[in-house]
Chains A and B, each alone.
Chain A
Amino acid sequence: MNILFKNIRVINPTENFDKIVNLYIKDGIIEHCSNEECIVDSSTEIIDGSQLVAAPGFIDIHTHLREPGFEYKETIKTGTDAAANGGFTAVVCMPNTEPSIDDVTVVEYIKNKSKDLLVDVYIAGSISQKREGKLISPMLELDDAGVVMFTDDGRSIESSEMLRRAFDYATTRDLLIAEHCEDHSLTKNFAMDECELSIKLGLKGYPRIAEEIIVARDILLAEYSGNRRLHLQHISTKGSVELIRSAKMKGLRVSCEVTPHHLFLSHELLDSYNTNLKMNPPLRSKEDINALLEGIKEGIIDCIATDHAPHALHEKEVEFEKAPCGITGLETSIGLILNNLYHLFNIELSKIVELMSINPRKILNLKQIEIKKNEKANLTIFAPNEEWIVSSNKFMSISKNMPYENMKLKGRPKFAINNGKLWSSTL
């Protein structure tokens, strides 16, 4: 793979780099990255980069690859293809598989299936065995096997005592605990956000406080256990932003993520009873959305996560109350973020690179990617001004459950480059 991007804008906030350059990648290595002319091999593909931006490879800190256990929804292969197609060069896969990722054998299985791929697959192990919230998983052994965070994703640890043990146990290696924030006693049989519309529609509500109670508790426990590393997953409410703001002001090591759907879709849409709008946490109010956007601008929200949650058509084409939660996100995330954050809300591209590449790596203690001569090429290349229409027929994901079909977006992923491989997006 030899490729030259002529006059491409390279943005790498960690190096304070933002320049138009000729970027030459040879055998997976950056051979040239400057505005000077560059001599290339005859086999080199030359691409006009004048409408393109190259950034350190984007990483999705919240992906459900579904394998092992639910290969009819997604596999490691199709999920990572979807990631590359959406412009990501790395994902963190969640442990709500079957069996769950609470044992080294499962970690090894995933590592084996994901080696030699363009997309790096980082693995989240579960906090508790079988994600039952009762006994802590073998966290040290999982850490040795390369697990980058611990979460019972999809569920909160209900027992405060159990979570405290996890924090205490994580101390010896300063491991990262991540939580899905939901007080399950308040959300039984929920179908959407609790609001006036949920009352009208006769759907059981998931009140904001169900999230905020756990956010508050987890912050308290993380602080009490010696200021542990805590990552709060897919937060959705104004109250959560406020709690995290005050935690950060106290100097606590708390981070959080937000999904594109919680940023750009609100609960009013639910009167369609469209199961592709059913998620956990549910879509919230415009007031919450504004607080999330403000949280991004202020730096309270560290990163964007897709929460890519594939489900088969037959699972979603059912009674709303019976449908599973979640939508796919890997192939729409960059488009939605560019269309909305960059074009509508005037958030700079360097900030978007921080949200989708730099900050998630910081949270996970991963090495930052450098874009300079002789470094391995790990790049996300996108066209910030190119318009496209979302069409799930072009997706690599097995599942098509998302509410953006036929939506026109400005800004699309073009290439993912990593591990000596190049993916040209089909979107």
Chain B
Amino acid sequence: MNNDYLLSKPYLINSEDLTSEDIAAIFEKARYFLEDYPKQRKFTDLKGITVALAFFEPSTRTKLSFELAAKRLSADTISFASSSSSLTKGESLIDTLRTIEAMDVQMYVVRHANSGVPKFLQENTRGVILNAGDGKHEHPTQALLDSFTLWRHFGRVEGLKVCIAGDILHSRVARSNINVLKTLGAEVALCSPGTLLPRYLNPWNVKLIESIDDAIEWADVLLMLRLQRERMESGILPSIREFSKFYGVSLEQFSRKPDLVLMHPGPVNYGIELDYRVSSFPNCLIQTQVTHGVFIRMALLSLLSKFVAV
């Protein structure tokens, strides 16, 4: 592979920042790490670089995944969790950034509950920003690892029919996946209750499927989203039971189309969007997604480290 490939943007904020060439380079790099990791265990791509894991919103898997990725590349890491930081003392976000920056940190992995924060930080730092999920906006590394998983499974992404199902309105995973899948030439459809994506607001101009049965019939891949429980409290859905009945995937439905590939960004609400028994089927790729996540993040950290100012 071409080791000199430069991504088209010196940061990763939006999935739309990525061209299909960028994504191909990321996948190649991720495959290299995936295949060589058992032999090498440790790489030196980020030696001498400090990565701040700035998680202003709680996260388990994404944070662990990035931390492992950075460490396997020999980066120094500092970790930051909002609950134990000065933010609770009223320190502003921009001040926190300046504080971290003053300690000579070169790369920032940012997770924040507000949409647009990685862009805001990128405009105010010389460091390299990686978006690890911002509000309801984007989660580009999740989308990349999802497509990488499909690429490994099918040998291609182009032409695949992928239906994203569930809470589209509040999902950054959905937004990033729609863009990455479209860039890679997949056919994308959405399936959600009317309140979780008003039908007159479809900026992606993608197919809308009105029942989960139709979605299963149409799709090669069903990408399920996590239903946040607070949606119920806000009254946007009548009940968990109703959601599960009309938008969850049962064992019976899955059995009707056993070659259907199921994915989920996790953590899964088993019994709500997905029957627990489905999770052990070979076409349910949830664990593979997690495994691939580390290698995709290694690839991104490695490719973006070329933009670290020396």
Binding site for B on A (CB under 8 A): 191, 194-203, 205, 272-273, 314, 317-322
Contact = CB atoms under 8 A, between A and B. Distances in A.
A269 to B, nearest CB: 13
Interface stretch (B132-140, B209-217, B240-248): B132-140
Contacts of A322: 114
A318 B94 contact: yes
Contacts of B271: none
10 contacts: A195-B201, A200-B175, A200-B204, A202-B136, A203-B135, A272-B119, A273-B116, A318-B94, A319-B116, A319-B117
A202 B94 contact: no
A327 B138 CA distance: 28
Contacts of B117: 319-320
Contact of B115 (A194, A196, A318, A320): A320
Residue of A202, A272, A273 with most partner-chain B CB within 10 A = A202
A319 B112 contact: yes
A320 B114 CA distance: 8
A319 B197 CA distance: 24
B172 interface: yes
Contacts, number: 61
Contacts of B203: 196-197, 199-200
Contact of A202 (B135, B197, B202): B135
Nearest to B178: A200
B115 A321 contact: yes
A202 B115 contact: yes
A199 B203 CA distance: 7
Nearest to A275: B120
Interface of B: 92-94, 112, 114-117, 119-120, 134-138, 169, 172, 175, 197, 201-204
Contacts of B204: 200
A133 B235 CA distance: 25
A198 B204 CA distance: 12
A205 B197 CA distance: 12
Q: Which secondary structure characterizes the binding site on chain B?
A: loop
> Which 8 A-B pairs have CB atoms at the shortest separation, nearest pair first?
A202-B136, A196-B203, A202-B137, A273-B116, A202-B115, A319-B114, A320-B116, A321-B114
B116 A314 contact: no
B92 A202 contact: no
A203 to B, nearest CB: 5
Contacts of B119: 272-273
A317 B172 CA distance: 24
A200 B201 CA distance: 10
B93 A201 contact: no
A196 B197 CA distance: 11
B92 A203 contact: no
A290 B139 CA distance: 36
A7 B33 CA distance: 79
Contacts of A194: 201
A199 B137 contact: no
A319 B93 contact: yes
B120 A202 contact: no
A201 B92 contact: no
Nearest to A314: B92
Given A318-B93, A319-B120, A202 B201 contact: no
A273 B120 contact: yes
B201 A203 contact: no
B93 A202 contact: no
Contact of A321 (B94, B135, B169, B201): B135
Contacts of A197: 203
Contacts of B134: 202
A196 B117 CA distance: 20
Contacts of B116: 201-203, 273, 319-321
Contacts of A317: 92, 94
A4 B197 CA distance: 64
B263 to A, nearest CB: 21
Nearest to A320: B116
Given A200-B204, A320-B115, 15 more contacts: A195-B201, A196-B201, A196-B202, A196-B203, A197-B203, A199-B201, A199-B203, A201-B137, A202-B116, A202-B136, A202-B175, A205-B201, A273-B115, A319-B120, A321-B135
A198 B202 CA distance: 11
A201 B114 CA distance: 11
A239 to B, nearest CB: 15
Contacts of A321: 114-116, 135
Residue of B119, B172, B201 with most partner-chain A CB within 10 A = B201
Contacts of A203: 115-116, 135-137
Nearest to A195: B201
A159 to B, nearest CB: 21
Nearest to A319: B114
A198 B116 CA distance: 12
Contacts of A191: 115
A201 B94 contact: no
A318 B169 CA distance: 24
Nearest to B136: A202
A201 B115 contact: yes
A200 B178 CA distance: 10
A83 B172 CA distance: 44
Contacts of B175: 200, 202
A342 B305 CA distance: 51
A318 B138 contact: no
Contacts of A205: 201
Nearest to A198: B201
A203 B116 CA distance: 9
A18 B132 CA distance: 62
Nearest to B16: A200
A322 B120 CA distance: 12
Nearest to B124: A317
A214 to B, nearest CB: 21
Nearest to B112: A319
Residue of A194, A196, A200, A317 with most partner-chain B CB within 10 A = A200
Contacts of A202: 115-116, 134-138, 172, 175
A273 B137 CA distance: 11
B119 to A, nearest CB: 5
Residue of A194, A205, A319 with most partner-chain B CB within 10 A = A319
A169 B203 CA distance: 47
Contacts of A273: 115-116, 119-120
A318 B202 contact: no
B143 to A, nearest CB: 14
A205 B200 CA distance: 13
Nearest to B134: A202
A133 B118 CA distance: 38
Contacts of B93: 318-319
